[in-house]
Structure 1
Amino acid sequence: MREQLGDTAYAAGWALVKRLPEPVAVRLFDGIADFVWRRRGKSVLRLEANLRRVRPDASPAELAELTRAGMRGYMRYWCESFRMSTWGRERIAASFAPEHVDRLDEALAAGRGVVLALPHMGNWDLAGAWVVVTRVPFTTVAERLKPEKLFDRFVAYREGLGMEVLPLTGGAGTLGTLAKRLRAGGLVCLVGDRDLSASGVPVDFLGEPARMPAGPAALAVQTGAALLPVTLWYDGTPVMKGRVHEPVPQPEDGDKRAKVAAMTQAMATVWGEGVREHPQDWHMLQRFWLADLEPRPGSAAAGAPAAPEAEPGTEAAR
């Protein structure tokens, strides 16, 4: 019943919110964000704890305001996502202004395949739609959700934006398909700052241990594709900003595991700098750092942490 109610709520969002006048929808979602922030539930407290690690010198008042801005940014993602299916190509193209997109163009022109890797910042679906409209279609993966109807809605939504969507789990040959697309000179886009497997690559993120999925770096090592980290943010205008960072170099020495670890850490460093610059745009409402993860049942003695909580609409390749 709970799963069915969740699916019904998302369906209502897509059906109703996209029909509201835009100023009304924006005010509605700002109001929802402020209401949730004032109630200080589990997700808000987790976001606040994460932002405290990003801005350890912030005063309690500054941290509270930063958390409120973070909730507004998170709800902006949902408001735009519910409404984006009604946007035309011109609106999508005008709603994102990335810096250094020439790095993507040059990598695509080289024909070696490209992996664009993003953290949970800004609106990654808008960034993906912009790439489809202004550059080329691409392949991505989606976390399998329950109920299946909800997963199907997310897949249909992203496919409607022009993306090829593969299931993160339960799909036959997902990683093989991604590698095939890259070897053919295609583009793969992955949201990959949060490990959902409890077996990701150890990284230092803003000075503390965390884990991130191996997928983006592993695909680059396996196929020779260029690996380009991306960060996203808003600056108070309707247009989302972003930056395509320099390609992550593949180490010349070491085995595959060592190369993947080094490249994943390089991405974590780039993303960490982006999060420090724009913390209110990092939508991390779950446990992230290893110190915050709870032990898995039966593994407390070994100190094995559990996987972070899943969230609708997030995805990463392991």
Structure 2
Amino acid sequence: MRTFEYRRAETVDAAIAEVSAPGARFYAGGSNLLDLMKTGVENPAVLVDVGRLGLDEVTLSDTGAVVIGSGVTNTTAANHALVRSRYPVLSQAILSGATTQIRNMATVGGNLMQRTRCPYFMDPGFDRCNKRDPGSGCAARDGFNREHAVFATDLPCIAVHPSDMAVALTSLDALVHVRGPQGDRAIPIGEFFVLPDVHPDRDNTVAATELITAVELPPNSGPSRGWYLKVRDRHSYAFALVSVAAVLRFDGDVIESAAVALGGVAARPWRVPAAEALLIGRRATMEAFRCAADAALDGAAPLSQKEFKVTLAKNSVVRALTTAAAG
């Protein structure tokens, strides 16, 4: 790890001003950034500590939305009464990720900003990595890619985004609030993450001088049933091969609305509105769930080591929907 300067910001605006320095980065829990600094993937000249800015509360807005400050730890978010009662799929997703010790340190904002866990990206000893060095190539394409994407595999990078929280937030149509030198803006979660096309080194649409201040969960339009399913090689502390966040609302025994988001299959949480549309107006049957699962994986183009992921993802969608429907 190279030496760096450490600065502690006292206000959000001061943090934004500090991070404008060359090579400066925001620092919160550090659960991902410090790992990347130790291996030499990240080499910031300045760390701006944003851990004491008062962004560590979960509140209920006047409109009925639940607002989670970006400095709230993953543990606090998962166990908060508002999250557990109104958005259980989010609580389930957070608790399925990492260890208790890491969840106690990691923050909501940092979780959204974390980088891929692709081994070729994590180890600078591999020269070919378009995410680290655009234009250098992708070692995973003809290397070990069992855990990589099955969608958008024609792009310069085939790594997947590792966040469980992001998949659940995608199914809930969350808003990400950020502040920068130009003021505040709200980014729909569906527009927050980007595919690695023109700029494979970019993971999201947040500017380097913008700070995530909160995540807003829209008001519940009615009772919902949700489930987060994470399929991995081992139960403890492993990233998802495939994950599914399923949220259903019913009118009697008929599905009134549906949201299905997949993780572990692309560089961003993957949501297919066409699959959700197939569920609306139908009863919760295996036939309906299988049709939705087939539509959710339509367009998948796995490389040789990942063909199993398509079948695994389809079965996972069916299982998550079945569990969600059962309440």
Q: TM-score, normalised by structure 2?
A: 0.29
Larger % of helix: which? 1
Would you tell me which structure has more strand in proportion to its own residues? Answer: 2
> TM-score with structure 1 length normalisation?
0.29
